[in-house]
Chain A
Amino acid sequence: MEYKGWDQVEVGAVVPSFADTSCDIVDLKQEDRNYAQTNSYTASVADWRVFKPVFSKDSCIDCQNCWVFCPDTAIVARDKNMLGIDYDHCKGCGICAEVCPTNPKSLIMFSENVDNDTVLSQWPEKKKKEK
Chain B
Amino acid sequence: MSKIIKNLKQFSTSNDRFEGAHLLCPGCAHSIIVRELLNCTDDNLVIANATGCLEVCTAVYPHTSWDASWIHIGFENAATAASGAEAMYKTLKRKGRLKDPDKPVKFVAFGGDGATYDIGFQFLSGAVERGHDFTYICLDNEVYANTGGQRSSSTPRGSSTTTTPAGRVSYGNKKFKKDMVAIMAAHGAPYVAQVAPNKWKDMVKKYQKALATEGPVYINAMSACTTEWKFPSQDTIDVSDLGTDSLVFPLYEIENGHKLTITYRPRNIVPVRDYLGVQGRFKHLFKKENQHIIDEMQKAVDLKWELLQRREEAGI
Contacts and interface: CB of A to CB of B under 8 A. Distances in A.
Interface residues of A, number: 51
Contacts of B64: 15, 17, 38-40
A65 B27 contact: no
B61 A94 contact: no
A45 B233 contact: no
B270 interface: no
B94 interface: no
Contact of A71 (B10, B13, B29): B29
Nearest to A109: B234
Q: Which among A28, A43, A74 has the highest number of chain B CB atoms within 10 Å?
A: A43
Contact of B65 (A40, A86, A97): A40
Q: Which among B13, B21, B22, B67 has the highest number of chain A CB atoms within 10 Å?
A: B21
B28 A30 contact: no
7 smallest beta-carbon distances between A and B, as pairs: A89-B20, A94-B234, A93-B26, A93-B27, A91-B26, A71-B31, A64-B12
Task: Decide if the interface of chain A is mainly helix, strand, loop or mixed.
Answer: loop
B24 interface: yes
B19 interface: yes
Given A93-B233, A95-B236, A97-B234, 17 more contacts: A3-B61, A9-B61, A26-B15, A39-B19, A39-B67, A40-B58, A45-B23, A62-B9, A71-B236, A73-B18, A80-B10, A80-B12, A89-B20, A91-B26, A93-B234, A95-B233, A98-B234
A28 B13 CA distance: 11
B27 A67 contact: no
